[in-house]
Amino acid sequence: MPYLFTSESVSEGHPDKVADQISDALIDHFLAYDAKSKVACETLVTTGQVVLAGEVKSDAYLDVQDIAREVIRKIGYTKSEYMFEANSCGILSAIHEQSPDINQGVDRKNPEEQGAGDQGMMFGYASRETDNYMPLALDLAHKLLLELAAVRRENKEIKYLRPDAKSQVTIEYSDDNKPVRIDTIVISTQHDDFDKDEQMLAKIKEDMIKIVVPRVKAKLKPELQTLFNDQITYHINPTGKFVIGGPHGDTGLTGRKIIVDTYGGKGAHGGGAFSGKDPSKVDRSAAYATRHIAKNLVAAGLCDEVLVQVSYAIGVAKPCGLYINTYGTAKVNLNDGDIARKVEEIFDLRPYSIEQRLKLRNPIYSETAAYGHMGRDSQVVTKVFNKGKQTEKKVEVELFTWEKLDYVDKVKQAFSL
């Protein structure tokens, strides 16, 4: 029987994502000036206020206020009427030194025996549903908001947009789990104030349906374009007026959008957030490693869909276990347990090995903090820190290394594909 599946996304101006981006900007700056930094920092944003808290072990000194303001400015909170503005918001820092009790469980004389920064389980997922091996509903939800942000910055076709926004996409699937059509699209976008509410709402709805959605559709493959139809139910700003938004409308906290960050409800999630954590925290690094494994397994033709779980004990390098679920789509004559044992031979899942393989000690995290950590394009870029200051530093880094298909040949060889 056909069924519906839904995923949501939130924009870079959503208060929780503002918090994530500030936390990850701090991570990047610490790593740019001291690659051995151990950092766990949380951010809270509300009306006219930013609070930074967390633990740090680093030789780097940062102007955390300046970093936070630059992030807020880049997102687009630059007007006083937003009640949260880059130049005028108050910033309180309560960042302090990391507990030596925690650090002793992570650092080792032999780097390869570096212990996990915490206990827990992490999941990776991949599917043939899209070219980037991501669930389709989430991929479309992200694309809607990326296009909305592009329209806002262009300030040509639509001139009333503010930074805060959310999207949601519901897709109908056939009995054999193939997407048939888009059933519902939800877009809620913050906007400037208008004199006449009814005219404003009608204008916003028209612009979303006739400008933003077609721009997204035009960038998709023909087979995905056919999923758009005249029967789509649109809910555009369904509560009505959305002038008060961002941190003034809702308090934002680091780590509250973990499903948006990963797979939109497909597969599973271990519960640990990513942003604000250096790669010794396996909540982050092992989630990237399991995505890397999942994507390479599917791309190699081992299966059409896969969920990968790894788990750790704090202070212990060797994982407690590796679990793989191919949902009955495996193309080899092995059960999932046997597949997991072979995967363990291909991918070293000790924390230090993950850091080295995926180059996670580089300042690569600001780019992950909005529109998903998974399904992005791996690319080499040059990043500039403290631009125009005496401490300015340029660093060439490779982003989203866990999205590379660099283990496909090894998987094929191991499984005789």
Q: Which domains does the chain have, with CATH numbers?
A: 3-10+135-246 (3.30.300.10), 15-107 (3.30.300.10), 120-127+258-415 (3.30.300.10)
Nearest to 252 by CA among 10, 11, 1, 17: 17
Separation of alpha carbons 7 and 139, rounded Å: 9
Identity at 82, one-letter amino acid code: Y
Annotated binding-site ranges for Mg(2+): 16
What does the pLDDT look like over 320-329, one tens digit per residue? 999 999 999 9
In this prediction the pTM is: 0.96
Annotated binding-site ranges for K(+): 42
Write down the pLDDT at residue 112. 74
Which segments in the chain show pLDDT lower than 50? none
Q: Pairing relation of β-strands 379-385 and 393-399?
A: antiparallel
Quick one: residue 234, left, alpha or beta (phi over 0 = left, psi -120 to 50 = alpha)? beta
Write down the pLDDT at residue 111. 73
Annotated binding-site ranges for ATP: 14, 164-166, 241-242, 250, 256-257, 273, 277
Annotated binding-site ranges: 14, 16, 42, 55, 98, 164-166, 241-242, 250, 256-257, 273, 277, 281
Tell me the CA end-to-end span of the chain in Å, nearest whole number: 33
Residue 292's alpha-carbon distances to 28, 307, 338, 416, in angstroms, are: 21, 11, 19, 20
Question: Looking at 237-341, which runs of residues are DSSP E strands?
Answer: 252-253, 305-312, 321-325
With a pLDDT cut of 70, the percent of the chain lying above it is: 97
Annotated binding-site ranges for L-methionine: 55, 98, 250, 281
In this structure, are residues 23 and 276 in contact, taking their beta carbons and an 8 Å threshold?
yes
